């Protein structure tokens, strides 16, 4: 029996060799599982509040008549100085948003789109709460350290006590168990 070897030309796409006619499926963004679990407890792309969780059920549309994607980052920051507190899918508060903007290199003129919000999330995971980023990158195996950092950054994620790290302040309540957060952390690490 003989085998014939055919050399199929390959196309390089974003560093991955793909044969012509073979559909390319890009690798899933590693932060997706973690981003989704954070959002479960925090909000959606257009969520906002004025200082108390759930105080603006209509989101940004009820305030401006537009989505957050239709506002620039600078406009969002300006609104935070006047009337809004936490904004977006990950409920960025004013000081945290300013930190994330600087670390992510986001410009005030950019739209506050889902892509920008995810870029800002990465800045928090890797710069404000580096124990989370280090866990995701496999630099340490202490998931409890990463889980504690998550609960300190997002009030809706249970702390080691099972309660919100910020229980009793501003209507904060747990919406994500520590177990759910651990599953998401492991899934994100496996994708990294």
12-22 per-position pLDDT tens digit: 434 444 445 55
DSSP string, 38-70: HHHHH--TT-B-SSSTTS-TTTTHHHHSS-GGG
pTM of the model: 0.84
All structural domains of the chain with their residue ranges: 30-191
Distance CA 118, CA 121 (A): 5
Q: How many angstroms separate the first and last alpha carbons of the chain?
A: 43
**Does the pLDDT at position 24 exceed 70?**
no
What is the average pLDDT across 155-178?
90
Helix (H, G, I), strand (E, B) or coil at 166: coil
What 8-state DSSP symbol labels residue 100? Answer: H
Q: Of all residues in the chain, what percent carry a pLDDT higher than 70? A: 85
Q: Residue 53: its pLDDT value, please?
A: 85
Q: Residue 27: its pLDDT value, please?
A: 56
pLDDT digits (tens, 9 = 90+) for 89-136: 999 999 999 999 999 999 999 999 999 999 999 999 999 999 999 999
Q: Of all residues in the chain, what percent carry a pLDDT higher than 90? A: 78
Q: Are 178 and 158 in contact (CB under 8 A)?
A: yes
Q: Residue 103: exposed, middle, or buried by beta-carbon count in 10 A (0-12, 13-18, 19+)?
A: middle
When the pLDDT of each residue in the chain is averaged and rounded to a whole number, the result is 89
**Does the pLDDT at position 169 exceed 50?**
yes
């Amino acid at each position: 029996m003989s085998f014939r070897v055919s050399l199929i030309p390959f196309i390089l796409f974003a560093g991955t060799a793909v044969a012509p006619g073979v559909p390319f499926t890009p690798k899933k963004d590693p932060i997706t599982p973690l981003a989704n679990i954070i959002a479960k407890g925090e909000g959606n792309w257009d969520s906002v509040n004025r200082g108390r969780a759930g105080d603006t059920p209509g989101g940004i549309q009820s305030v401006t008549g537009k989505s957050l994607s239709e506002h620039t980052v600078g406009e969002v920051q300006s609104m935070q100085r006047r009337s809004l507190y936490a904004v977006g899918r990950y409920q960025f508060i004013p000081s945290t948003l300013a930190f994330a903007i600087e670390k992510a290199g986001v410009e005030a003129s950019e739209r506050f789109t889902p892509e920008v919000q995810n870029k800002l999330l990465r800045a928090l995971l890797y710069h404000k709460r580096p124990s989370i980023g280090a866990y995701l990158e496999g630099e340490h195996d202490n998931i409890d350290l990463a889980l504690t950092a998550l609960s300190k950054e997002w009030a809706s994620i249970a702390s080691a006590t099972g309660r919100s790290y910020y229980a009793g302040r501003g209507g904060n309540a747990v919406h994500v168990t520590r177990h759910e957060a651990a599953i998401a952390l492991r899934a994100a690490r496996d994708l990294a």
